Amino acid sequence: METTRLGTTPEPTQSAANDCCLVFKPITLDSLSAITPYLTRQNYRTCDFSIGGIYMWVDYFGYEYAICRDTLFIKGGEEDHLQNTAFAVPVGSLELAESLPLLKEYCQRHKVPFILSAVPEPAAQAIAQLYGCPITELPDWGDYLYRATDLATLVGHRFNKKRNRVNKFKSTYPDFQYEAITPQNLPELIAFFDRYRQEYRKESELFNYEEGKVAQVLREYDRLAFEGGLLRVGGEIVAFSVGEVVNDTLIVHIEKACKEIAGAYEAINFFYSEHMTETHPQLQYINREDDAGDPGLREAKLSYNPETILKKYNIPLDAYLH
């Protein structure tokens, strides 16, 4: 755990809390169009500031949103303590010294503690400088960030094992095909994933929630700004990935593969990364999200040599914002 204390409490630049009363509303498929423009007005590169990061976890964390003075506010459950109300860092036109007093006023009005959760490191450091408050790292929720060219090429000795696995996949299954997800192949993909869910069940609330949301996303795919790819062997789907582009970063929300097909996970990762970097030349990074504290996921994500892990923090502000 990491704790930092810096700076002194500033005076708000204006009485922000007096001219905007936050009213939070449920996040639905129809409300995403109001939220989306704000997500490109930040450069944190974490999955929390993406449609997939919000919409796929809306029921798990109980996310709601408010828009005030051209700024987006998100309310939900605290990452490690879902029963606690917490807030994302506001994004939009307001500076932190203007937007955070609005949240403080909301918390006082509703008699809930004022906690920011999953705060990206640059914002956490800025808030610590503003208010002299402690920031506490959430070690299970850091996002693994990779150079896009690394995952799209697998060049260099660091990627020898991954490259060999992809090459072995190609030689073992010479009839493989990679293709983008389209309206034409989407019904087949939905049917594949329905079978996949039955075959790879786990006794895990978090796992089953995520699988249910993947099924929902596929059924609503034509209304979401997602892009995906799938892999076939012998004409049958064996793997797929889905993500979204936010500024210079591809955020991969979904990756599934048949475990009995050797190298399928490495292959879909490679072909999808290659496809997306060719389609979006501006991509510099690929975010493969957090490991949620799962040792197996942690090992798998580290094996791809991340450029960095985007740290996130909890910040209780009741005692520091007046």
3-class secondary-structure state, position 306? coil
Is residue 205 predicted with pLDDT exceeding 70? yes
Q: Comparing C-alpha atoms, which of 271, 273, 306 is closest to residue 291? A: 306
Check residue 14 and give its pLDDT. Answer: 41
Residues 29 and 131 in one domain: yes
| Number of domains the chain contains | 2
Rg, the chain, Cα only: 21
Are 136 and 297 spatial neighbours (Cβ–Cβ below 8 Å)?
no
Is residue 65 situated within a structural domain?
yes
* 163 Cβ contact partners less than 8 Å away, ≥ 6 residues apart: 154
Structure tokens at 47: 């999955």
Mean pLDDT of the chain: 93
Residues 84 and 174 in one domain: no
* 35 Cβ contact partners less than 8 Å away, ≥ 6 residues apart: 27, 51, 54, 65, 72
Is residue 61 situated within a structural domain?
yes
Residues 147 and 174 in one domain: yes
Confidence band of 19 (pLDDT split at 50, 70, 90): low
Is residue 181 situated within a structural domain?
yes
Residues 124 and 69 in one domain: yes
Question: What confidence tens digit (pLDDT) does each residue in 261-298 have?
Answer: 999 999 999 999 999 999 999 999 999 999 989 899 99
Residues 277 and 238 in one domain: yes
Are 102 and 89 spatial neighbours (Cβ–Cβ below 8 Å)?
no
Is residue 298 situated within a structural domain?
no
Q: Comparing C-alpha atoms, which of 266, 280, 286 is closest to residue 148? A: 286
Question: What confidence tens digit (pLDDT) does each residue in 80-134 have?
Answer: 788 899 999 999 999 999 999 999 999 999 999 999 999 999 999 999 999 999 9
Question: What confidence tens digit (pLDDT) does each residue in 180-204 have?
Answer: 999 999 999 999 999 999 998 888 8
Residues 71 and 154 in one domain: no
Which uninterrupted H or E stretch holds 312?
strand 312-316
* 238 Cβ contact partners less than 8 Å away, ≥ 6 residues apart: 231, 232, 257, 258, 261, 264
Residues 161 and 276 in one domain: yes
Question: Taking residues 233-258, what's their average pLDDT?
Answer: 98
Are 113 and 318 spatial neighbours (Cβ–Cβ below 8 Å)?
yes
Is residue 208 situated within a structural domain?
yes
Confidence band of 16 (pLDDT split at 50, 70, 90): very low
- DSSP state, residue 221: G
Residues 134 and 179 in one domain: no
* CB burial of residue 282 (10 Å; 0-12, 13-18, 19+): exposed
Residues 100 and 166 in one domain: no
Q: Comparing C-alpha atoms, which of 145, 88, 68, 139 is closest to residue 305? A: 145
Is residue 295 situated within a structural domain?
no
Residues 130 and 220 in one domain: no
Q: What share of the chain is helix, strand, coil (3-state, %, to 5)?
A: 40, 25, 35
Question: Taking residues 20-37, what's their average pLDDT?
Answer: 94
Is residue 88 situated within a structural domain?
yes
Is residue 55 predicted with pLDDT exceeding 50? yes
Residue ranges making up the domain that contains 242: 143-289
Check residue 225 and give its pLDDT. Answer: 94
Backbone angles phi, psi at 312, to 5 degrees: -130, 155
Q: Comparing C-alpha atoms, which of 296, 229, 286, 293 is closest to residue 259? A: 296
Residues 267 and 283 in one domain: yes
Residues 158 and 49 in one domain: no
Is residue 192 situated within a structural domain?
yes
* CATH code of residue 121: 3.40.630.30
pTM (predicted TM-score): 0.91
